[in-house]
Amino acid sequence: MADTSNLLALFREVVEEVDKKKLPDVTEKSVIADLGIDSLSTMQIIGELENRLDIMIPDDQLVKLETVGDLLAVVERCAAKKG
Amino acid sequence: MGSDQKQVEVSYDVSNEFFRLWLDEAMFYTSAVYESADQSLEAAQRNKMRILCDFAGVDATSRVLDIGCGWGAAIEYVAREHASKAIHGVTLSRAQMDEINRRAIPGVEAMVQDFRTYQPTEKYSSIISICMIDHLCSPAEARQGKAIDIYREYFKRAWEMSTPGAKFGLQAILRNRVPRDKHDLTETYWVTHEIFPGGLNPRLEELITAVNPYWEVVEVHTRRDDYRRTTHEWRRRLRANEAKIRSEFGDQVYVDYDRYLSCCVNNFEKHYSSLAQLRLHRIDQ
């Protein structure tokens, strides 16, 4: 399964595809809203990550997502459960 | 918190005559429950009320409160079918109150009142509330993790206004899963902000958590396809009245409501939204 650095690279790639934004300096500590990614784009990005990793993230795990690291932790947990 | 009076009036005060053109004859603006493939909307709405009145234990001896009584369709049903001892309704919409007054339903008393501050002189044995809870928590409050506390306060108020042994028939639209698709996201966001500002549908697990410690969940039914069918029928009737609506209420009203109902049909089809009916029994101290 993808480790966190791989997920960060995947996140960058997906943001570029979905939101047409290049994020060369993004880190896990980056605040999603500070990157100019609004709530609608965040859900599209989550959808694309789900497609790429073939997972379904329960919505109740998507509350209080502030940083990129928060989001990637949820993605990683779901992907790990998939095995 | 949730929809205030102005926001409720955005949702319900376009014009009573406008809503009359595409809702059923009694003007239920909530999901019906269909018993067969060819059942009419009117019959399915009466069926919905039969179920909720059963859940709420309504009979001739009941004191009934409808929290969020709309244009009075539910309290009118209770008056006609059960002639209960007391039948009261509260709504925040003045246009809906005008319609209830116009109907002059014998034995029914309704008021423009926030249920949170409503102080009945006598408590109720039966409570009905149909999709009013969907107005209580705003999207911002849900993001802050306040939803369950807000819903719990609603159940607490219902408990405070009820007598020992009271029954509660609750119907609520549910949010199941946020769309990931851009078009579906955009449309859902638009409906949430333009047609029903201030409100957000609860999740089923939030309701189940929030009823404690006031009400016991005795029975739950989800009726996603019934609401898909209801909104599909509303849209069919809206479209059948397109020319009249455009000429009397303006092009934008027609366009907006066609867009809104199309979003609803899609959201129920794709499991983004659903509907729940709960039979609740008061937990007495």
**Phi–psi pair at A9, nearest 5 degrees:** -65, -40
Q: With an 8 Å Cβ cutoff, are B186 and A50 in contact? A: no
Number of cross-chain residue pairs from A and B with Cβ atoms under 8 Å apart = 31
Q: Give the pLDDT mean for A37-54.
A: 94
Residues of A in contact with B175 (CB under 8 A): 59
CA A41 to chain centre: 11
Q: Tell me the fold of A4-82.
A: 1.10.1200
Closest-approach residue (CA) in chain B for A40: B185
Q: Would you state the structure tokens that stand for residue B278, as one six-digit string?
A: 């709960």
Would you say B202 and B133 are in contact if contact means Cβ atoms under 8 Å apart? Answer: yes
Give which of B256, B253, B251, B257 is closest to B236, Cα–Cα.
B257
B251 touching chain A per CB within 8 A: no
CA distance B266 to B257: 14
A44: closest CA of chain B, how far (Å)? 5
ipTM comes to 0.86
Please write the tens of the pLDDT for every residue from A63-81: 778 999 999 999 999 998 8
**Phi–psi pair at B166, nearest 5 degrees:** -65, 155
Q: From the CB of residue B215, how many other CB atoms can be counted at a distance below 10 Å?
A: 24
Q: With an 8 Å Cβ cutoff, are B178 and A63 in contact? A: no
pLDDT of residue B269 exceeding 80, the answer is yes
Please write the tens of the pLDDT for every residue from B203-248: 999 999 999 999 999 999 999 999 999 999 999 999 999 999 999 9
Q: How far is CA B196 from CA B7, B135, B170, B222, B267, in A?
A: 7, 8, 20, 22, 15
Q: Tell me the fold of B5-282.
A: Rossmann fold (3.40.50)
Residues in chain A: 83
Q: Where are the domains of chain B?
A: 5-282
Q: With an 8 Å Cβ cutoff, are B179 and A43 in contact? A: yes
Q: With an 8 Å Cβ cutoff, are A63 and B189 in contact? A: no
- B171: burial class by Cβ within 10 Å (0-12, 13-18, 19+)? buried
pLDDT for position A65: 87
Show the 3-state SS of B140-178: HHHHCCCHHHHHHHHHHHHHHCEEEEEEEEEEEEEECCC
Residues of B in contact with A53 (CB under 8 A): none
List the single range of B74-83, B114-123, B141-150 with lowest mean pLDDT.
Answer: B141-150
